[in-house]
Structure 1
Amino acid sequence: MYRLNVKKLGFAFGLTGALIYLGCIVVMATAGQEGSILFFNSLLHGLDTTNIIRMDVPLLEALFGIVQTFILGWLIGACIAGFYNAQIKRR
């Protein structure tokens, strides 16, 4: 079995999370409030997002959100790689 590189998998998870976050920003910026509600309601299997979608998100708050998402994604990916590697029998 191959060992996973903890830093690289963490980076891949973090970057993927940040890209998804940016995708949400693009959807909200282009679709408007009603379009965003329709998009996220269908994405979340009919969960009503009407009361939780906020369109007036400050730029600094969005930047912090991207950074926090990247960090959480990195930690999740690193943990997965670490747990996976710990289960591999060494030769």
Structure 2
Amino acid sequence: MYRLNVKKLGFAFGLTGALIYLGCMIVMATAGQEGSITFFNSLLHGLDTTSIIRMDVPLLEVLMGIVQTFILWWLIGACIGAFYNTQIKIKIKK
């Protein structure tokens, strides 16, 4: 079986999470508040996001959010890779 590189998988997950975060930023910047509410309500199977979407997010909060998202998803990817690797039975060649 192939063993996963835990750090690289974590990095791939982290970048993917950051890319999704950037996608949300682009939706909010281009669609406006009403368009964002419609988009996220559709995406979240009708969950009403009206009361939680705010458009006046400070730049520092945005930067901290993308860093936190990267770290969280890096940890998730690294855990998946580590858990996967611990389940592999290595055959010893003689």
Structure 1 residue identity aligned to 2:69: T
Q: Distance in 1 between matches of 2:90 and 2:74?
A: 25
Structure 1: 5+ residue stretches without partners: none
Structure 2 residue identity aligned to 1:69: T
Q: How far did residue 90 of structure 1 move?
A: 1.2
Q: Distance in 2 between matches of 1:85 and 1:54?
A: 41
Q: How far did residue 47 of structure 1 move?
A: 0.3
% identical aligned pairs = 87
> What's 2:11 paired with?
11
Q: Distance in 1 between matches of 2:36 and 2:3?
A: 41
Structure 2 residue identity aligned to 1:72: L
Q: Distance in 2 between matches of 1:47 and 1:76?
A: 25
**Consecutive aligned runs of 4 or more in structure 1 exceeding 6 Å deviation:** none
Higher Cα Rg, which structure: 2
Structure 2: 5+ residue stretches without partners: none
Q: CA RMSD in A?
A: 0.4
